[in-house]
Amino acid sequence: MDRSKLRRGFTLIELLVVIAIIAVLIGLLLPAVQKVREAANRMACSNNLKQIALAAHNYHSTFSTLPPGFVNLPKGSDPSGSLSQYYFSYQGIGALVYLLPYLELDNMYRQLQVNKDVNYRSIPPQDKIVQTPNAAPWWYFAGSSPTTPADWDLAQLQPKMFLCPSDNLVDEDPTQGVVILMTGYSNYVLWGNFGAPYNVYPTGKTNYLPCSGANGAFGAAAFHADPGTGGTDLSMYVGMFTDRSRTRLTDATDGTSNTIMFGEGLGGRTDSGERDYQWSWIGGLTVASKYGIGNSGGVGTSNQPGSRVLNWSSRHSGGVQFAFADGSVRFYRQGLTYQKNPPSSDWFVLQQLSGMRDGQVINDTLGN
């Protein structure tokens, strides 16, 4: 046999060298792939916010106002001081519900049985909970059955447009619960706090909510308090979406290009990396910007830049995306917006962008 014609194979050392080179190339390629994927996700997220903002404009063209931020318990409507029985007497829906027909989701909107009249208010006797479909919120159960089954079924649907593709919102279960409505701009109601049968969470979630300003339509409130000045009057930074609001675009006297309409959030994180809260898209929720912009790396507190139940946050590196009242979408970095005391200039920039008529000149240090 002519051994010179035999094909020579790789030696073990040569094979190991080839494998090592391939491993290095893969190591160099993966970050680039991940970077491209995140760029695509961020673009898709921006498009979601753009479509939501345009839907709000189309709603405004139809009704001459923007949709209400939420339709929940009116401030001051509980003379007893006990809010729990009044949770069951209001619709508990938010702005995203009113935008469904303008997001090609009109079929969902028409099936909703909850009373969508912004002017509807029912204050029951203090010893009675209203349980009629006309008065009950979308999530109310009479016994073991929902009062309005169609509403409960629709709350399980997941419009893709309400999800940031960089997040894995629908793949995680919250450790604490799903936020379904607000009774103020610091107080919220979690699904699951009412006992059975409320231990099955609504599965329709959202990463996007309307902005209520620094503290909604509430009166003056000292936040980031400085003992020498008594704190900051948050009432000057009222946003476009508040309790039963009927805001016109012309009400944004700061300019529509300087006023946030919608932003994104994770719902909350814990130090262990779990998600403790999530937001329901059908629920009556807004975000108050006084809590700043957090990140996905842990729990958010007054002096810690993490994600919390009601602050702006995202899985995008370094900041979040906002849809402005002029329809534009911009990325804003986290900066020092979360710092509580003393307030930073970054925190004031965020409040000025969240308020629609504070009249202050914005030195935009957060935009990229």
Question: Per residue in 105-150, pLDDT tens?
Answer: 999 999 998 888 887 765 544 444 444 445 567 887 666 677 778 8
Give the pLDDT mean for 196-224. Answer: 76
pLDDT of residue 74: 58
Bond prior to 133 in cis (omega within 30° of 0): no
Q: What percentage of residues in the chain have a pLDDT greater than 70?
A: 72
Question: Residue 315 falls within a domain, yes or no?
Answer: yes
- pLDDT of 12 strictly over 70: yes
Question: Residue 21 falls within a domain, yes or no?
Answer: no
- The total number of structural domains that make up the chain: 1
Sign of the dihedral defined by the CA atoms of residues 313, 314, 317, 322, in that order = negative
Residue 11 lies in a domain: no
Count CA atoms closer than 13 A to 91's CA, side-chain side.
Answer: 25
Beta bridge partners of 178: 191, 278
Range with lowest mean pLDDT among 79-83, 229-233, 248-252, 323-327: 79-83
Maximum mean pLDDT: which of 26-30, 189-193, 195-199, 251-255: 251-255
Q: Which amino acid is at 186?
A: S
Residue found by looking up tokens 């409130």 in the block: 221
| Spatial distance between the Cα atoms of 285 and 325, rounded to a whole number of angstroms | 18
Token pair in block for residue 303: 């002096």
Residue 336 is part of which domain span? 35-354
In a domain, 28, yes or no: no
Three-class DSSP category at 59: helix
Question: What is the distance between the alpha carbons of residues 208 and 93, in angstroms, rounded to a whole number?
Answer: 14
Query: Identity (one letter) of the amino acid at 149?
Result: P
Provide the pLDDT for residue 11: 77
List helix spans (H) across 158-252.
Answer: none
**Is the model's pLDDT at 219 over the cut of 70?**
no
Residues 266 and 307 sit within 8 Å (Cβ to Cβ) = yes
- Assigned domain for 69 exists: yes
- Its pTM stands at 0.84
Res. 209 pLDDT band, cuts 50 70 90: very high
Band (pLDDT 50/70/90 cuts) for residue 81 is: very low
pLDDT value at 58 more than 90: yes
Residue 213 lies in a domain: yes
How many other β-carbons are positioned within 10 Å of the β-carbon of residue 339?
A: 17
Q: Is the residue at 4 inside a domain?
A: no
Distances (CA, A) of 234 to 217, 238, 332, 335: 9, 8, 21, 20
Name the β-bridge partners of 243. 70
Residues in the chain: 368
Residue 108 tokens, joined: 């969902």
DSSP state of 258: G
Q: What is the pLDDT of residue 120?
A: 73
Q: Which residue has the higher pLDDT, 230 or 141?
A: 141
Instruction: Output 35 or 42, whichever has higher pLDDT.
Output: 42
Which tokens go with 227?
A: 């003992």
Q: What is the distance in angstroms between the CA of the first residue and the CA of the last residue of the chain?
A: 72
Chain-centre distance for alpha carbon 98: 16
Indicate whether 7 belongs to any domain.
no
256: Cβ contacts below 8 Å, ≥ 6 apart: 249, 324, 325, 326
Q: Residue type for 21, please?
A: I
